């Protein structure tokens, strides 16, 4: 895999500390990581190793307590909450384990949401949403509510929502955790397809077999990166 | 624009998602906004005036003030003419007095209020007639004017709304006058007396030939209205009036004394400047309390939205993850609140007229005499719009700020509990606020009710419970015949007449000096309330005699002038001993007046007043030129009223009207306080009801959210009564804190109202304790059912509750 000269995401000595009732919990310590455009990275590790915290930082949902995180060369610590929200909206797509679809919005409206926040005009929104729903093979379910779909279909809606804004990076948190094996495979193939189309994909998983889909595996333990493996996959 | 539409669409969807919550919020706010709108429309009409004159802001009223005596008094016609001459043509000026007159129409004879006004009255106030013209005369003196303008209401009630009425004649005080015009609908004069006829000042000699005080500078009966040109600021005009008053006083030092003139804006003059102060205070108090009601409703709405927001935490966080900025989430939450407030605002406008009519029924007698009609007009709607916007921002603020600070990492954490404790703290604070506000609202009513109760129990110094009273339009001779005849009727112990009764609207004050006071600090001249009474007055009223004698038949114009003083007057001038035999002097009267008796001090203006000096003078020596007051004493006053009305019905030399028990006048004098108390009681009850429903809703949500916790407690062995007691205990703690803050606020309120309460000690245990009891019981009743429901939770299912 060829590397771009300038990485998309760069973490230098990043740490994250949570303070609750005067108890400090070091979720991440001295993390050095860079992810290039077009990479498919898997972050693996046991429960409590810091995977979700790392994903929160990568997705600009949180800011590091120490070190520097640059997204597209921009120091995230310098960004306001509003600016981080704009970056998330424009450049990051999220896929969650529990789908996190809004129950009283239709499939179409759920997928439309990032474009609504981006201020895209309704006509362009409609065309773009229909395009991505066709892409995840849900073009005939636009008016359904999430509860009327299977788990696999819901996760495909979530993927459609993640990619509708053509983000620079797609972050997936245990994307198959609530799916059976057939649906898991379908979703991972969808992610691979997106990656092959040029997207940068980063998944967090504790399932060893999912890491085979990635080109690089980052292994975490107790908040530190303990191993980094390249694979032949993707 | 697209973004705005998206946010509005989203807000609407959220409201539809939980219609029960939305309906509860809208219903609560509708009621609170409706009450505020209704009260504002009333206060606007009463405090700022709603008399339909042209450009009321350009009108200015002029009153007499006296540095020796507080308050504003009317002006004499002589002074009014001087002022008009001094101002010249630059400032159009009219003056008028209100008189009670007998009017005979084809439909019969009736007693009505008349405005006796200068020829330019309708021109100055800018009121065009509905039919005919205003006064056609142009001169106020030296002309023989035969004309009258009738009010629109009088035209409809007594002249059959005859469209050809102009040119017809009616008889006013026995004088036929030609109707030249009918006033516009809704117009009944420029003060609180509903005038039915308008008589030109120039005709006073013909219509009121017996009245001696026209042209007398000491007799203050007229109100002046001037219309300022745009080029003349009020402050400049006021200064000019002050200078004119000084010149008039310099030219008439004996008659004017220390009296001067003072200009006030017309809007402030409709009630009279002194009454206005009382009404403004009542308005401020009422406005504050309905403001509290609105705040309680806001706290309710905020609490319900916060409770709902806690169930939407995940959704809001997800929106943040997808790129909704904190500002966008804040705006979204505010839109929801504003949409709810907007719905409530629209509905409140729909119910406001009904609420206004209900509240208006409770107005005090002072305002029942007025032709004021509170309207839901543009300014009231503007107030409602502003209140609606403020309401939405207030109750939407907490949920909006919470939405803006949402933890966007929570979708990645599947059991997020962050924020739950702070949610509970905010909601608890809102409940405490509701309890405290409703406590203060109810306390305001309680304090006034205590005052009314205390005032009603006061002994006024005469037999108020045994007295019936009437307005009597009759000559002195006829009045004497009537009292003699009535006194002989079975069931009537005594009958008498006087110029005025205690607790009445009319008040006669005269400046009195004493020849030989024994007190070194005695004033040289004192403006004292006086009444002209007939010889049977003191006995009929049941006023105790302390020294000297009563008036008798020889105390007439052929004998030396005499007076009876009350013991408060005596105490002002003499150190002990009796003043009987001492001489007093009335300003403008050459001969001395000898004190022949001393009586106990009675209440005259209100039962809450401090003891006031009072001088009684014989009616035969001081004839009264307006209606007399007939009083009849009986152990059965209701029956006496019927007997008197029947007995006088056949007399054609007298008109008797306004039959009533004197207790009604006493209670009417307490009217503003009583009306305010009843209004505040309604508002206080509303505040408590809203707070109670809020506590119920919050407790219900709290139990639902704590289902798992309660299940775990029960699984660990907690019994139903443990759970019930714990939840009720939490509610009690909130109510106690709220009551504590309410007591603090109540003490501040009572301190501010000290001058307007009667015999209610600061922190009155009965009032404060009673209010605390009501609020606590209501709050606990509201918490009882949700707490009870919690005891029926199935622990096996609850511990798996998400």
In angstroms, the CA B28 to CA B297 distance is 6
A197 versus B743: the higher-pLDDT residue is B743
Residue B109 touches chain A, beta carbons under 8 Å: no
Has residue B497 been placed in a domain?
yes
Contact list, B11 vs chain A (CB under 8 Å): none
- Arithmetic mean of pLDDT, B480-497: 92
- Arithmetic mean of pLDDT, B395-407: 85
pLDDT at residue B81 greater than cutoff 80:
yes
Instruction: Name the domain count of chain A.
Output: 1
Has residue B603 been placed in a domain?
yes
pLDDT in tens, A53-101: 899 899 998 899 999 999 999 999 999 888 888 898 999 998 888 888 8
**B418: pLDDT confidence band, cut at 50, 70 and 90?**
very low
- Arithmetic mean of pLDDT, B81-97: 93
ipTM associated with this complex: 0.76
pLDDT in the model for residue B797: 67
Dihedral, CA atoms, A72, A77, A79, A80, nearest 10 degrees?
150
Name the average pLDDT for chain B: 86
| Three-state secondary-structure class, residue A226 | strand
Has residue A83 been placed in a domain?
no
Q: What is the domain-level CATH number for residue A108?
A: 3.40.50.300
Closest CB to A117 among B328, B412, B414: B328
Has residue B169 been placed in a domain?
yes
Q: Return residues 41-80 of A near B (CB < 8 Å).
A: 52, 55-56, 59, 61-62
Has residue A10 been placed in a domain?
no
pLDDT in the model for residue B705: 75
Has residue B707 been placed in a domain?
no
**B191: pLDDT confidence band, cut at 50, 70 and 90?**
confident
DSSP for B296-329? HHHHHHHHHHHHHHHHTHHHHHHHHHTT--HHHH
Give B705→chain A minimum CA distance, Å: 20
Which structural domain range is residue B554 located in?
Answer: 464-669
The residue among A51, A77, A49 whose CA lies nearest residue A63 is A77
Which structural domain range is residue A143 located in?
Answer: 38-60+88-230
| Three-state secondary-structure class, residue A142 | coil
Of A15-19, B209-213, B325-329, B533-537, the least confident: B209-213
pLDDT in the model for residue B241: 95
Has residue A112 been placed in a domain?
yes
pLDDT in tens, A108-163: 999 998 898 888 999 999 999 999 999 888 999 999 999 899 888 998 899 999 99
- Arithmetic mean of pLDDT, B482-490: 91
pLDDT in the model for residue B417: 40
* Structure token digits, residue A32: 């050095």
**B13: pLDDT confidence band, cut at 50, 70 and 90?**
confident
Is this structure's pTM higher than 0.90? no
pLDDT in the model for residue B414: 55
Residue A97 touches chain B, beta carbons under 8 Å: yes
Has residue A19 been placed in a domain?
no
pLDDT in tens, B15-34: 787 788 889 899 999 999 99
Has residue B736 been placed in a domain?
no
Of chain B, the percentage scoring pLDDT greater than 90 comes to: 42
Q: Return residues 401-440 of B near A (CB < 8 Å).
A: 408-409, 411-414
pLDDT at residue B152 greater than cutoff 90:
yes
Out of B603, B636, B669, a domain closes at B669
pLDDT in the model for residue B228: 94
Q: Which of A85, A91, A175 to mutate to test the interface with B (most CBs of B within 10 A)?
A: A85
The residue among B698, B11, B734 whose CA lies nearest residue B308 is B698
Out of B606, B641, B669, a domain closes at B669
**B69: pLDDT confidence band, cut at 50, 70 and 90?**
low
Give A118→chain B minimum CA distance, Å: 8
The neighbouring-strand residues paired with B471 are B629, B657
pLDDT in the model for residue B407: 80
Has residue A67 been placed in a domain?
no
Q: Which of B321, B329, B407, B415 to mutate to test the interface with A (most CBs of A within 10 A)?
A: B321
Cα R_g (chain B), whole angstroms: 33
In angstroms, the CA B608 to CA B606 distance is 5
pLDDT in the model for residue A190: 84
pLDDT in the model for residue A185: 86
Could you tell me which chain A residue has the CA closest to the CA of B330?
A: A82
Has residue A141 been placed in a domain?
yes
Could you tell me which chain B residue has the CA closest to the CA of A111?
A: B322
pLDDT at residue B784 greater than cutoff 70:
yes
pLDDT in the model for residue B225: 94
Residue B6 touches chain A, beta carbons under 8 Å: yes
Of A109-113, B478-482, B667-671, the least confident: B667-671
**A5: pLDDT confidence band, cut at 50, 70 and 90?**
low
Name the average pLDDT for chain A: 87
Give the other-Cβ count within 10 Å of B88's Cβ.
8
pLDDT in tens, B619-649: 988 876 667 899 999 999 999 999 999 888 8
**Angle between the N-to-C axes of helices B420-456 and B378-404, in degrees from 0 to 180, rounded to the nearest 10:** 150
pLDDT in the model for residue B415: 44
Highest mean pLDDT out of A129-138, B43-52, B654-663: A129-138
pLDDT in the model for residue B51: 66
Rounded-to-5 percentages of helix, strand, coil across chain A: 35, 30, 35
Has residue B60 been placed in a domain?
yes
Out of B640, B669, B698, a domain closes at B669
């Amino acid at each position: 895999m060829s590397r771009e000269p300038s990485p998309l995401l760069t973490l230098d000595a990043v740490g994250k500390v949570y303070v609750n009732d005067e108890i400090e919990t070091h979720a991440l310590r001295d993390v050095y990581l860079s992810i290039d455009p077009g990479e498919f990275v898997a972050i693996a590790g046991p429960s409590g190793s810091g995977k979700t915290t790392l994903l929160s930082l990568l997705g600009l949902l949180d800011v590091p307590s120490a070190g520097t995180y640059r997204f597209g060369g921009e120091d995230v610590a310098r960004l306001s909450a509003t600016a981080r929200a704009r970056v998330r909206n424009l450049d990051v797509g999220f896929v969650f384990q529990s789908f996190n679809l809004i129950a009283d919005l239709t499939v179409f409206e759920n997928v439309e949401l990032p474009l609504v926040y981006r201020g895209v005009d309704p006509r362009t929104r409609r065309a773009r949403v229909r395009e991505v729903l066709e892409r995840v093979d849900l073009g005939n379910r636009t008016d359904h509510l999430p509860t009327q779909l299977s788990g696999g279909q819901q996760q495909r809606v979530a993927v459609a929502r993640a990619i509708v804004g053509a983000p620079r990076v797609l972050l997936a948190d245990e994307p198959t955790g609530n799916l059976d094996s057939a649906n898991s495979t379908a979703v991972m193939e969808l992610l691979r397809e997106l990656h092959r189309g040029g997207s940068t994909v980063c998944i967090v998983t504790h399932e060893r077999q999912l890491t085979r889909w990635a080109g690089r595996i980052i292994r975490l333990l107790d908040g530190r990166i303990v191993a980094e493996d390249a694979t032949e996959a993707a | 624009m697209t973004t705005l539409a998206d946010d509005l669409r989203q807000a609407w969807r959220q409201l539809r998602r939980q219609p029960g919550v939305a309906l509860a919020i809208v219903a609560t706010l509708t009621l609170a906004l409706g009450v505020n709108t209704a009260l504002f429309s009333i206060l606007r009409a009463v405090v700022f005036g709603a008399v339909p004159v042209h450009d009321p802001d350009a009108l200015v009223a002029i009153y007499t003030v006296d540095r020796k005596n507080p308050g504003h008094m009317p002006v004499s016609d002589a002074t009014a003419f001087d002022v008009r001459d001094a101002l010249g043509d630059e400032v159009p000026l009219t003056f008028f007095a209100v008189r009670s007159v007998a009017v005979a129409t084809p439909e019969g004879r009736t007693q009505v209020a008349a405005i006796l006004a200068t020829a330019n009255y309708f021109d100055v106030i800018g009121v065009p007639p509905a039919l005919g013209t205003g006064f056609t005369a142009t001169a106020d003196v030296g002309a023989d004017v035969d004309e009258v303008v009738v009010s629109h209401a009088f035209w409809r009630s007594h002249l059959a709304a005859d469209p050809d009425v102009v040119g017809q004649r009616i008889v006013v005080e026995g004088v036929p006058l030609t109707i030249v015009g009918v006033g516009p609908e809704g117009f009944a004069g420029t003060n609180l007396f509903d005038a039915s006829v308008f008589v030109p000042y120039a005709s006073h000699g013909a219509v009121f030939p017996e009245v001696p005080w026209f042209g007398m500078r000491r007799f203050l009966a007229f109100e002046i209205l001037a219309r300022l040109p745009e080029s003349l600021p009020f402050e400049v005009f006021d200064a000019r009036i002050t200078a004119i008053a000084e010149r008039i006083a310099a030219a008439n030092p004996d008659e004017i004394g220390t009296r001067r003139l003072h200009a006030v804006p017309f809007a402030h003059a409709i009630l009279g400047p002194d009454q206005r102060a009382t009404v403004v205070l009542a308005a401020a108090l009422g406005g504050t309390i309905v403001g509290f009601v609105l705040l309680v409703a806001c706290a309710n709405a905020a609490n319900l939205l916060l409770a709902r927001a806690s169930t939407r935490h995940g959704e809001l966080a997800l929106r943040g993850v997808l790129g909704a900025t904190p500002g966008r989430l804040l705006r979204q939450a505010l839109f929801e609140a504003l949409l709810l407030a907007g719905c409530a605002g629209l509905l409140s406008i729909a119910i406001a007229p009904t609420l206004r009519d209900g509240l208006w029924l409770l107005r005090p007698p002072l305002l029942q005499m007025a032709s004021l009609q509170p309207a839901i007009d543009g300014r009231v709607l503007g107030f409602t719009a502003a209140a609606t916007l403020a309401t939405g921002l207030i109750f939407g603020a907490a949920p909006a700020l919470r939405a803006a600070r949402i933890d966007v990492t929570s979708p990645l954490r599947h059991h997020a509990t962050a924020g739950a404790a702070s949610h509970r703290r905010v909601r608890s604070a809102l409940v405490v606020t509701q309890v405290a506000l409703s406590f203060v609202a109810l306390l305001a009513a309680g304090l006034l009710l205590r005052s009314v109760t205390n005032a009603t129990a006061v002994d006024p110094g005469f037999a108020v419970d045994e007295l019936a009273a009437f307005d009597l339009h009759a000559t002195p001779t006829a009045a004497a015949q009537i009292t003699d005849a009535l006194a002989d009727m079975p069931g009537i112990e005594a009958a008498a007449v006087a110029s005025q009764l205690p607790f009445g609207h009319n008040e006669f004050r005269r400046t009195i000096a004493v020849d030989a006071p024994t007190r070194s600090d005695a004033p040289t001249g004192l403006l004292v309330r006086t009444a002209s009474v007939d010889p049977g007055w003191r006995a009929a009223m049941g006023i105790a005699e302390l020294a000297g004698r009563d008036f008798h038949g020889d105390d007439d114009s052929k004998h030396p002038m005499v007076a009876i003083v009350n013991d408060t007057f005596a105490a002002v001038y003499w150190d002990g001993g009796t003043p009987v035999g001492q001489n007093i002097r009335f300003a403008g009267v050459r001969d001395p007046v000898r004190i022949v008796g001393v009586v106990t001090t009675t209440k005259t203006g209100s039962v809450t007043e401090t003891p006031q000096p009072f001088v009684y003078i014989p009616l035969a020596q001081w004839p009264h030129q307006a209606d007399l007051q007939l009083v009849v004493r009986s152990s059965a006053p209701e029956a006496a009223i019927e007997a008197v009305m029947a007995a006088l019905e056949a007399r054609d030399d007298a008109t008797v009207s306004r039959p009533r028990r004197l207790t009604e006048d006493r209670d009417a004098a307490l009217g503003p306080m009583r009306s305010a108390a009843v209004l505040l009681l309604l508002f206080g009850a509303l505040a408590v009801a809203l707070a109670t429903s809020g506590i119920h809703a919050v407790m219900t949500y709290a139990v639902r959210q704590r289902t798992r916790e309660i299940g775990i407690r029960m699984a660990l062995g907690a019994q139903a009564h443990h759970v019930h007691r714990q939840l009720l205990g939490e509610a009690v703690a909130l109510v106690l804190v709220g009551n504590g803050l309410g007591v603090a606020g109540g003490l501040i309120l009572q301190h501010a109202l000290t001058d307007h309460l009667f015999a209610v000690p600061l922190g009155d245990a009965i009032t404060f304790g009673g209010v605390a009891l009501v609020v606590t019981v209501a709050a606990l009743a509201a918490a009882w059912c949700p707490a009870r429901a919690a005891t029926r939770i199935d622990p096996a299912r609850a511990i798996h509750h998400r």
